Amino acid sequence: MTGAQPIKRLLLILTAVVIAAPCGGVLTQRAHLLRDLPPWVVFGTTGEQTVIRTPAREETVTVTLHDSRLRISSDEPLFSSGNDWAVADCFICDLDRDGYDEVMLHVWRRGSFGKHQPFWQKPDDKACPTEHLFIYEWDMQRPDRLDPVWMSSQIPVRGQRMQVDDSGVLRIEDPDGNVTLWEWGGWGLVRKDA
């Protein structure tokens, strides 16, 4: 037996263990995130075509939300959520009441801030999943179409269910049934019912 044969045998055994183990043997970043979420989290599901109104023109897209993954496509794929996000819901609506649509995502991810943490905040706890609202303008010049407008840090309420009405008011219901109302305030969402 040569020196390479034991290494090949070990690699074959390790490969068999990984393939035979649950979840492919190793938990993915998304699987870790989903495992650590509170038990009250609810994920939406959709697979529908919708028309997005922009200043340039309207665009028909397919929005697919399944298993905490979001995909938006036209004739070709435009946007897919990453493995470090779990998307609970997606809304195409006129949040800022300018006559054109925005895309709002209800997202779970680790930490309250991204890579650009404000210096006045204590260090971000990347171990804990936190709840966020990400708002984008639909920009026909971008390949993925999503131009970030407002990417919240951890939101101050627990959002089990959300909906946006025709006037752009966001209704957030927590796991205990308490409801808060939010609307666009020029820079981010502001609480309307406080």
CA–CA distance, 65 with 71 (Å, rounded to integer): 6
The pLDDT value recorded for residue 60 is 96
CA–CA distance, 102 with 184 (Å, rounded to integer): 11
Select the more confidently predicted residue: 181 or 114.
181
Check if the beta carbon of residue 177 is closer than 8 Å to that of residue 159.
Answer: no
Q: What is the pLDDT of residues 39-69, one digit of tens each?
A: 999 999 999 999 999 988 999 999 999 999 9
Check if the beta carbon of residue 78 is closer than 8 Å to that of residue 145.
Answer: yes
Q: Side chain identity at 116, as an amino acid letter?
A: H
Q: Is the pLDDT of residue 80 over 50?
A: yes
**Largest interatomic CA distance in the chain:** 76
Give the mean pLDDT of 7-14: 55
Q: Side chain identity at 117, as an amino acid letter?
A: Q
Domain-by-domain residue ranges, the chain? 27-157
Q: Is 6 helix (H, G, I), strand (E, B) or coil?
A: helix
Question: What's the pTM?
Answer: 0.80
The pLDDT value recorded for residue 28 is 82
Number of CB atoms found within 10 A of residue 165's CB: 11
Give the mean pLDDT of 92-111: 93
- What DSSP line would sit under 35-102, residue for residue? HHS-TT-----EEEEEEEE-SS-EEEEEEEEETTEEEEESSSEEEE--TT-EEEEEEEE-TT-SSS-E
Strands in 170-173's sheet, in edge-to-edge order, are: 161-164, 170-173, 179-184, 189-191
Check if the beta carbon of residue 182 is closer than 8 Å to that of residue 159.
Answer: no
Q: What is the pLDDT of residues 141-179, one digit of tens each?
A: 999 999 999 998 889 999 999 999 999 999 999 999 999
Q: Is the pLDDT of residue 105 over 90?
A: yes
pLDDT band, residue 128 (cuts 50/70/90): confident
End-to-end CA distance of the chain: 76
Q: Which helix (H) or strand (E) holds 182?
A: strand 179-184
Closest CA to 109 of 79, 131, 89, 90: 131
Q: Is 22 helix (H, G, I), strand (E, B) or coil?
A: helix
Q: Is the pLDDT of residue 116 over 70?
A: no
Asked which of 7-16, 76-85, 90-99, 181-190 is least confident by mean pLDDT, the reply is 7-16
